[in-house]
Amino acid sequence: MGQEVKTILIDTHCHLDSSDFNDDRQEAARRAIDSGVEYIINVGASVKGSKDSVNLALEYPFFYAAVGIHPHEADTVDKDSIGEIEKLAKNNKVVAIGETGLDYYRNYSEANNQKDLFIALIKLSKNSGLPLVIHSRHAQEDTLKIMREFMPLKAVVHCFSGNNDFLRECVDMGFFVSFTCNITYKKAEDLRQVVKVAPLERIMLETDAPYLSPEGSRGKRNEPCNVKRVALDIAKIKGVTFEDVARCTTDNAKNFFGLR
């Protein structure tokens, strides 16, 4: 008999710096490893969160960091904030800029401030040579308009929730899309149809933990170990094997983030 091949997964977007993990962060990381997760990308959503992400990446060998500022924070951002992110981006365990983008669903910050922040971090991505992690919610048109102005870009649209037209535009521009546990929700049939047509060679996996727990655990804290559930559901939706999904999405993530 041949040697068994280990199935490897990567959670490309989570927030283990969240206070939700203060009591059992190490245990959550261990559960991820036990479920087959080889790497975790912890994503900053503020200056503080980005600093904490870098510290986690320095503490855990299999953690890497993305540094950025969420559009919700745009009204409070100044030049010093961008400067802090720029400094953090020089750490060798930082593999991406983000998350950043536009969120017109909550509108916690003014649209013009969101755009200014988005553009500043796109420029940092291009100047640093690091890929970009994009947040886009109810803002497809403006997101695409801004991204087109700065092509070529190496980017992933995280927690993808757009329609087929947005998917096609993103894929045509060479971007990746990542899906999280919301594809498991009973009322997410439209999103599952997007998963079905999305090219596997352009898909990555994420949990966005502690948010968006899978169906059956909604209302509870999400964890990186649940990235396996995302892979299983994508395999079911697309009619391929779990192993195929794991292998392709892991290769995609390693190449995108430069993981070794």
**Helix, strand, coil abundance in the chain, percent, nearest 5:** 50, 15, 35
What is the pLDDT at residue 186?
95
β-sheet with 155-157: strand ranges across: 9-14, 37-43, 63-67, 94-103, 132-137, 155-157, 176-179, 203-205
pLDDT over 90 (residue 37): yes
| pLDDT value of residue 1 | 40
As its CATH architecture, domain 9-257 has Alpha-Beta Barrel (3.20)
Q: Per residue in 137-196, pLDDT tens?
A: 999 999 999 999 999 999 999 999 999 999 999 999 999 999 999 999 999 999 999 999
Beta partners for 156? 133, 176
- Each domain of the chain, given as residue ranges in start order, spans 9-257
* Residue showing tokens 């939706």: 237
Q: pTM of the prediction?
A: 0.95
Query: Which residue, among 175, 189, 188, 184, has the nearest Cα to 207 in the 3D structure?
Result: 184
